[in-house]
Structure 1
Amino acid sequence: MQSDTHFDYIIIGNGLAGLQLALEISKDSYFDTYRIGLIDPSDKSENDKTWSFWEQGQGKFDSIVEKVWHTAKFESSEVSLILPLKEYNYKTLRSLDFYNWAKKKLLSKDNFKFILDTVQEIEDSVDLKVIGNTQTYSAKHVFDSRVPREFYLKQSHYTLIHQHFQGWVIETESPCFQPEAFTMMDYRFQYKDSTSFIYVLPISETKALVEYTFFTPFLVEAEVYEEALKKYLETEYHLTNFKILETEVGNIPMTDFPFWNYHTENITKIGTGGGWVKGSTGYSFKHTEKNVSKVIENIKAGKRPSHQLFKKKFKFYDKIFLKVLHDENEKGVWIFESFYSKNDIKTMFRFLDEETTFPEDLAIMKSLFSMAFIKAFFKVLFKL
């Protein structure tokens, strides 16, 4: 009889990466005889974030997507753009809807078990052990979404930009939003010449997510976000009276830290802890979906799950972009103005999805050509 604490795979963290990986395993008959344990200190019963992403046509999560847009807007003091997304759709998904949907699917499988516990340590030896607060578990392989301790200890050796934000889901008494288009970035409400912008997802004429986001080496106090959001809503929509339904806060690390160096034969780092967040943008949803598919492919081919998850050229591009934002943060507005105004939407999305060819990369680079990028290029090159 098998122990309740022994598994073929243990997944630590029931966030985006952990649950997407579990879902893909559950759909593949190759893993029908495998026992999978999912360990997290939370039962994921709250809506703690919103994921938004672009993709062509139908996707795996369409049944739980809250809203889809076909047009984006970009604003700054110099540029005002309306961007038809053509064959792409921009979709938003509430995390709670994803958690509930994923848990329902996984709980219908006899070989999956959810465990409420906090992992303290992994003993990476012949007998692989996961030590939690309440029990010790064993497994043949562990997928670990926790950020390596070394990230915090060695931060000063790498470039780090904080993508930090506060967002409000608000509801108004009368119609004021135009739900057919979302605002990708509005830089007219910058904080002290930093790379900071307003992001708006209008769900309906009376409901929207309005978020103030920073890409900066520094953090700010809570009142900075709140004052900017109030000013934006009053200036753009003449709103002073509205209901805040939900508040979202977060800080996503945009960094060139080598998370992939922390894989072992028995432990694969996933999600933020595996470097699955794109360093130059903080995007993670579609990158997670792709990496999960590659992990499954590698396992079935008898390779390490982490085999060739990343493309080196895009990591190099991310390093340059991060260096510019770190050394000359005020240039962020110009960078995004150039990116969105000088490139076709399909090429931009393909570039951000890390699917472009080298000639397409060169076209993107040409649109961003500046002294700031030249200096960043050589700083990164000589650091390698």
Structure 2
Amino acid sequence: MVQDNLSFDYIIIGNGLAGLQLALELSKDPFFKSYTIGLIDPSLKDINDKTWSFWEIGAGKWDAIVEQTWHTAQFVSPGISLNIPLLEYNYKTIRSLEFYKAAKSQLATHSNIKFIVDSVEDLQEGITSQVIGKKQTYTATHIFDSRVPKEFFDAKADHTLIHQHFKGWVIETDTPQFNPEAFTMMDYRFQYKDSTSFIYLLPFSETKALVEYTFFTPFTVASEVYEAFLKRYLLEEYKLENFRIVETEVGNIPMTDFPFWKYHTKNVTKIGTGAGWVKGSTGYSFKHTEKNVAKLIANIKAGHAPSDRLFKWKYKFYDKIFLKVLHDENENGVWIFERFYSKNTIQTMFRFLDEETSFSEDLAIMKSLFSMAFIKAFFKVLFKF
């Protein structure tokens, strides 16, 4: 519709997971064939800056770029060791660089889509809204904005925040060390003090793996803490003193009950992390993003606000309780996850985390986690919800 090189029907701010998934789905739908779309990001997205993992049943739409698939999960703590067949589910991982390359390649074939390398400094809303970049000013009828609202950083006392922070190495060894048939979801034998902290391991082959030290905590730590635990794990578990680090991955994913949905406006729809699409209780985002993009597009085509009913309130309530427990009694994290993995079927766990459970399934999960910590958190959240 719009023809000017600086004017678009839609502008998407941020070429991350949400922005590119949204652009891909818009480009595939004939309904939006005549719409012009500008994608603005200061980065060329030409490095591997993260790894996305997710579960799904059978084949999926991203299989062409999936690096590895596993059918068995392991959970280890000082108290239990579980080998969990995933049954009909597959656990898959994608390197972000492969996703960026595939998305950009597909979008480059559409003449109505333009990539813009610029930093967004401000927005001005109106009948035609303005995106003020460092280099240029752009206009759009509607803006999809993946940036986290500045209020998130200014009002921490008003919401619960758990940092999912981690450092990981992709390592290679000269001799076979890993079992590529099973990945380790959590290994709590290497805890930092009394915190919720664990090893996460994705074995790509017998000689190559991503090994990550992860925290779910209200605090963060220095880089050397992760590295010390990674070295200790590799030495104690695999007797590895010599290995090659071929990639390093560092991140901090907000697990939070911040009310991102309040920051949608008539002309600006928040997406991705900036819209709360990262699940508060787990930090998983890949499949939640896919689902939310599909709902968002269906809303537009039906004449509704793009953000209309993108989430279910009961899961926001459950997440708030879980986050409150982790925040107030972080030392109980290992007990929580022991119960979650040992007392529920894999189908129930994945359906719950995918926000697809019935109320009877919810009750089964709650029963497995029943404790004074959750009772206290329930009432604290109930009176604030």
* Alignment correspondent of 1:332: 333
For the residue of structure 1 that corresponds to 2:309, the secondary structure is coil
Deviation at 1:127, TM superposition (A): 2.5
CA-to-partner distance for each residue in 1:61-120, whole Å, 9 max, x for gaps? 000000000000000000100000000000000000000000000001111100000000
Letter in 1 for 2:336: I
Letter in 1 for 2:177: C
* Alignment correspondent of 1:232: 233
- Equivalent residues in 2 for 1:158-173 (5 A)? 158-173=159-174
Contact 2:288-2:354 within 8 A present in 1 as well: yes
* Alignment correspondent of 1:40: 41
Distance 2:305 2:107 in 1: 24
Residue 294 (structure 2) pairs with residue 293 (structure 1): yes
- Equivalent residues in 2 for 1:146-165 (5 A)? 146-165=147-166
For the residue of structure 2 that corresponds to 1:212, the secondary structure is strand
Alignment TM-score, normalising by the size of structure 1: 0.99
Contact 2:76-2:188 within 8 A present in 1 as well: yes
* Alignment correspondent of 1:255: 256
* Alignment correspondent of 1:279: 280
For the residue of structure 1 that corresponds to 2:27, the secondary structure is helix
Distance 2:359 2:285 in 1: 23
Contact 2:67-2:94 within 8 A present in 1 as well: yes
Distance 2:101 2:344 in 1: 38
CA-to-partner distance for each residue in 1:278-319, whole Å, 9 max, x for gaps? 011111001000000000100000000000001000000000
* Alignment correspondent of 2:318: 317
Residue 15 (structure 2) pairs with residue 14 (structure 1): yes
Deviation at 1:208, TM superposition (A): 0.1
- Equivalent residues in 2 for 1:80-119 (5 A)? 80-119=81-120
Deviation at 1:126, TM superposition (A): 2.1
Distance 2:91 2:146 in 1: 26
For the residue of structure 2 that corresponds to 1:20, the secondary structure is helix
Deviation at 1:2, TM superposition (A): 2.1
Distance 2:290 2:128 in 1: 30
CA-to-partner distance for each residue in 1:225-283, whole Å, 9 max, x for gaps? 00000000000011000000000000000010000100001100000000000011111
Distance 2:220 2:247 in 1: 22
Letter in 2 for 1:294: K
For the residue of structure 2 that corresponds to 1:303, the secondary structure is coil
Letter in 2 for 1:369: F
* Alignment correspondent of 2:185: 184
What's the % identity of the aligned pairs?
Answer: 73
* Alignment correspondent of 2:223: 222
* Alignment correspondent of 1:57: 58
CA-to-partner distance for each residue in 1:114-139, whole Å, 9 max, x for gaps? 00000001101222100000000000
Distance 1:2 1:208 in 2: 48
* Alignment correspondent of 1:144: 145
CA-to-partner distance for each residue in 1:133-161, whole Å, 9 max, x for gaps? 00000001000000000000111211000
Alignment TM-score, normalising by the size of structure 2: 0.99
* Alignment correspondent of 2:29: 28
* Alignment correspondent of 2:361: 360
Contact 2:264-2:270 within 8 A present in 1 as well: yes
Deviation at 1:383, TM superposition (A): 1.7
Contact 2:299-2:305 within 8 A present in 1 as well: yes
Distance 1:278 1:244 in 2: 30
Distance 2:213 2:16 in 1: 23
* Alignment correspondent of 1:124: 125
| Aligned CA-pair RMSD | 0.6
CA-to-partner distance for each residue in 1:361-383, whole Å, 9 max, x for gaps? 00000000000000000010112
Structure 1, unpaired ranges of 5+:
none
CA-to-partner distance for each residue in 1:13-36, whole Å, 9 max, x for gaps? 000000000010011011100000
Distance 1:259 1:374 in 2: 26
* Alignment correspondent of 1:349: 350
For the residue of structure 1 that corresponds to 2:4, the secondary structure is coil
Contact 2:127-2:141 within 8 A present in 1 as well: no
For the residue of structure 2 that corresponds to 1:182, the secondary structure is strand
Deviation at 1:204, TM superposition (A): 0.2
Distance 1:3 1:300 in 2: 24
State the aligned residue count: 384
For the residue of structure 1 that corresponds to 2:31, the secondary structure is helix
Distance 1:149 1:134 in 2: 22
Deviation at 1:342, TM superposition (A): 0.3
For the residue of structure 2 that corresponds to 1:383, the secondary structure is coil
Distance 1:157 1:305 in 2: 26
For the residue of structure 2 that corresponds to 1:319, the secondary structure is helix
Deviation at 1:323, TM superposition (A): 0.2
* Alignment correspondent of 2:214: 213
Task: Tell me which stretches of 4 or more aligned residues in structure 1 moved more than 4 Å.
Answer: none
Letter in 1 for 2:250: V
